[in-house]
Amino acid sequence: MNPLDRIDLALLNELQRDARQTVQQLAEAVGLSGTPCWKRVKALEEAGVILGYTARLDRDKLGLRQCVIAEINLDRHAEDGVRQFEQAVAESPQIVSCYATTGAADYVIQVLVADIQGYERFLHDTAFKLPGVSHVRSSVVLRELKSAVRLPLAGPAPPDSGAAGAGAARTGSKARPRPRRTPPG
């Protein structure tokens, strides 16, 4: 696929803002007609830039109130042991993210469970049984300040427009006119 242009970035920003938009709504937001918009989205999907579409869920309402960040150290770093560990992590539904890191820990994982007792069960039933684990250091999250799912594409997107208006205007495409605001009183 060719490098992403401003229209592609505007489409991606819009889809990150609201992936349930119709092709027509998306096209209007980025200053395209429906067919070229649809073709660009399909090209982004086929190139693997768009991996899929999903719904964001409220974990508190689903009973997953306890978030724990854990640093994991392995006792050996042979390729087979690392592969076994990573496969076991991928199969654990409570582990919602895992990063191989530099520094004091080999891996950092994010675990979601109902409560601290659920995390204790996770430790004994899962974490301590993961292949090659020699040490687990846990940090209980007191409060989540930010949980971004949007990737930062070409700077922050303005509210409601998802950067589409500015991107469309720079490419010479037809953009929606912005309403004028009159100063109060």
Give pLDDT tens digits for 30-69.
999 999 999 999 999 999 999 999 999 999 999 999 999 9
User: What's the pLDDT tens digit per position in 99-110?
Assistant: 999 999 999 999
Q: What is the mean pLDDT of residues 133-149?
A: 95
The CATH number for 1-56, chosen from 1.20.1260.10, 1.10.1040.50, 1.10.3720.10, 1.10.10.10, is 1.10.10.10
Per-residue confidence band for 180, with pLDDT thresholds at 50, 70 and 90: very low
- pLDDT top residue among 51 and 184: 51
Q: Provide CB contacts within 8 A for 65, sequence distance 6+.
A: 59, 114, 115
Q: What is the DSSP string of 50-96?
A: S--------TTTTT--EEEEEEEEES---HHHHHHHHHHHHH-TTEE
pLDDT surpassing 70 at residue 128: yes
12 confidence band (pLDDT: 50, 70, 90) = very high
Q: What integer is the mean pLDDT of 64-80?
A: 96
Q: What would the mean pLDDT of 24-35 be, rounded to a whole number?
A: 97
Tell me the CATH number of domain 66-140, given options 3.40.50.720, 3.30.70.920, 3.10.560.10, 3.20.20.150: 3.30.70.920
Which residue ranges make up each domain of the chain? 1-56, 66-140
Q: Which distant-in-sequence residues (6+ apart) come within 8 Å of 56 by Cβ?
A: 149
- Give 142-174 pLDDT, tens digit per residue: 999 999 889 999 744 444 544 444 333 334 344
* pLDDT value for 179: 42
Q: Is the torsion defined by CA of 35, 41, 43, 45 positive or negative?
A: negative
What's the pTM value of the predicted model, to 2 decimals?
0.76
